[in-house]
Amino acid sequence: MARVLARKPSPFQQAIQHGDVIWRIVIGAMAIVVLLIMLAIGWSVWSDSSQSRELFGWNFVLPTSDTTWNPVKDKYQAWPIISGTIVTSVLAILLGAPLSIFIAIFLSELCPHWLRTPANFMIEMLAAIPSVVLGLWGIFVFLPIVVRPIGEFLGNTLGFIPLFAGPIPASGSSRLAAVLILTIMIIPTITAVTRDVLRAIPVAQREAALALGSTRWETIWQVLLPASLSGVLGAIILGLGRALGETMAVTMVIGNNPVESSGSLLKPGATLASTIANQFAEAVSPVHSSALIELGLILFVITILLNMVARLLVYQVSRTMPMEARA
Amino acid sequence: MSAVTQSVPSTAVPTILPRGLIKSKTGHQRRRVVNIIMLTLTGLLTLVAMLPLIWVTVYTAITGARYINLNLFTQLPVAIGEGGGGVTNAVQGTIIVILLGMLISIPLGILAAFYVAEKPNTRLGFVVRFSTDVLAGVPSIIIGLFGYAILVKPLGTYSAFAGGVAISIIMLPTIIRTTEEMLKLVPKSLREGSLALGAPDWHTSLIILLPAALEGVITGIMLAIARGVGETAPLLFTILGNDQYSVPQIVQSGVQNNFSPVQILQGILVTPTDALTLTMYKYSQEPFPEHVQQAWAVALVVMFFVLGINIITRTLTARRAAAR
């Protein structure tokens, strides 16, 4: 019987199990390469920023009123950039997260069947628009038509609050513009993840709540949202990660002023990513590029931590991550 | 029993509560009003969120269509004021960079996906899966810095090659995750059948499983391409931009000067190039109306390419899901 089946494998074939050993090594190596890419990115921003880290120490990142970003004198202080990043992203989340949760509720719970596919589709397309196209539209359409009027209104009515101290520049380039563009950009991320998390909740939960006499809204608000809390939180953190790292659209509308320290939304500011995008190719000295790479290091550390937390939160609820969740 | 079913018909909208359950009539009213207001609000906000999408696409389509012409794809940029000219440098640059990105990320991504799909419960399997997800969340500008650090600095020049590597890192997570999902969907019996017939693992994976999952894998690759074409930040400090980048010209002058094919390839790959998105960004920052107009035309091309791929893949995926 055995003689009929096959000729005896050569010792070499036996040793590599007909190629399986090689195959396992190859796919294992490729998997490790993916891991190495992650580590190499971290290592490269860490080691390339060493000059700046040694020169400026913690003063580079700590809050200060004496802000400098001076490539001529080679003195850099990143606080206005860091705070600008945090302020724009957090405000975008405050605007975008409630909006996205409402949209997710509509898409997952209320949307009539015929509308479900097109509505989901539109939200997904919003995520697919290249950020540079959004930035172009931002400069020539969004800034003059939407941002400037809102900015003027805020400056006139709430100008006494430092956050809204005007006036907004004639071009409209300001932190406010970045906040609004970021809000648009994070809606698909938060919506998609929240929607999938809501859908992962068993129908029985809804039926039980309705049978107890809840209204539809009470079912959603008191049963579904609490049940999906960790997933929704994960979605919001993913959105925050995306907002912090968003580069092109923000660079094109924020005005790129890395020393503006008043913190007013109506003034041009800068974010970590926008400063790198704006200055790195024209960096004048090794210290300048090193300082810019340190901005990258800060951004990398923040986004990695946020992403890890968010993924773990979402993994608990739903095993698969929707496509739109990609930054 | 029948009385109950009459008072609360099975088709009743859940908002209509059985009488007598709620003591205060005003409380009942308030709950109903809140219900209606909130449910309407969710619908309205969904509409609001669609406004930017419609506004951006329609405005870009109308403005871009006004300035688009064939020269845009075939001619190199000309000096300001001369009129005409195109951005063929950027068209060719984008093609070269994306091809390089595919060349690196497709084999790497598919093989890594095999590992993750076959060994999801090993420690390395989980770590790779997790780092793929996290990699997808790394800001693209940082991948640009990485490309600069590992290729531009050592090679001493900005290059299409560095851009291709950076873009491949952008494409990688999408390819790994979709391939992994698709491999998991292939029926187990197929794999077992192949192994039972004595086929080695690699044969089973490459000749049996991969073709079975091919449609889905290609979908993933197309989505990755769409993402790569739309990216700008990773290219800023890897390809830099090059007004005069033209593959036919490089090949022609290479042949005239009797360069070897390797040298010609070097001339194409290890030299600064341009990209459509990069051109849009640069032109949008300039005060010249001609350039701004060309930026809109390029925006039209890029946007419809990216949205087109997304629409096609999503329609295919929906059809496949419906057929299943």
- A129, A182, A311: best to mutate for the B interface, most B CBs within 10 A: A129
| Distant-in-sequence, close-in-space partners of B224: CB < 8 Å, separation ≥ 6 | B102, B105, B109, B170, B171, B172, B174, B175
Judge whether residue B6 has pLDDT over 50: no
Higher per-residue pLDDT: A303 or B18: A303
Query: Which of A34, A102, A296 is the closest to B45 by Cβ?
Result: A102
A63-82 pLDDT, tens per residue?
Answer: 877 788 988 888 899 999 99
A243-269 pLDDT per residue, tens: 999 999 999 999 999 888 788 999 999
Spatial CA neighbour of B311 closest among B180, B232, B219? B219
What phi and psi values does residue B273 have, to the nearest 5 degrees? -130, -170
Residue B244 in tokens:
């005069």
Name chain B contacts of A310, Cβ cutoff 8 Å.
137
Is residue B209 within 8 A of residue B192, CB to CB? The reply is no
DSSP state of B240: B
Q: Which residues make Cβ contacts (< 8 Å) with residue A25, sequence separation at least 6? A: none
3-state SS assignment for residue A82: helix
Closest-approach residue (CA) in chain A for B314: A121
C-alpha distance from B254 to closest chain A C-alpha (Å): 29
Which residue(s) pair with A69 in the sheet? A76
- Cβ(A171)–Cβ(A177) under 8 Å? no
Mutate to test the interface with A, among B24, B30, B31, B42 (most CBs of A within 10 A): B42
B199-235 per-position pLDDT tens digit? 888 889 999 999 999 999 999 999 999 999 999 999 9
Q: Is A171 in the B-facing interface, judged by CB distances under 8 Å?
A: no
Q: What's the CA gap between B285 and A255, in Å, rounded?
A: 11
Closest Cβ–Cβ partner in A105, A280, A321 for B42: A105
| pLDDT at residue B108, rounded to an integer | 96
| Assigned CATH for A49-325 | 1.10.3720.10
In A, which residues are within 8 Å of B306 by CB distance?
A: 128-130
Which two tokens mark B159?
A: 């290059």
Q: What are phi and psi of A76, to 5 degrees?
A: -135, 145
Which pLDDT does position B219 carry in this prediction? 92
SS3 A255: coil
Q: Give residue A172's pLDDT.
A: 92
Mean pLDDT throughout A296-310?
A: 93
DSSP A137-179: HIIIIIIIIIIHHHHHHHHHHHTTSGGG-SPPPTT--SHHHHH
Cα separation, B42 vs A115, in Å, equals: 14
3-class secondary-structure state, position A76:
strand
Domain coordinates in residue numbering, chain A: 49-325
Respond yes or no on whether the N-terminal peptide bond of residue A130 is cis (omega within 30° of 0): no
Q: Which of A120, A132, A289 to mutate to test the interface with B (most CBs of B within 10 A)?
A: A132
Q: Which of A30, A38, A187 sits opposite B108 (nearest CB)?
A: A30
3-state secondary structure B255-277: HHCCCCHHHHHHHHHCCCECCHH
Select the residue of B177, B226, B236 nearest A281 (Cβ to Cβ). Answer: B236
- Chain A residue numbers with beta carbons less than 8 Å from the beta carbon of B307 are 125, 128-129
Contact A68, A76 (CB under 8 A): yes
Task: Render pLDDT for A177-213 as a digit per residue (tens, 0 to 9).
Answer: 999 999 999 999 999 999 999 998 989 999 999 999 9
Whole-number pLDDT of residue A63: 87
What pLDDT is recorded for position A5? 56
Q: Is the CB of B201 less than 8 angstroms away from the CB of A20?
A: yes
Confidence grade of residue A318 (pLDDT, cut at 50, 70, 90): low
Choose the weakest-confidence range: A308-317, B69-78, B138-147.
A308-317
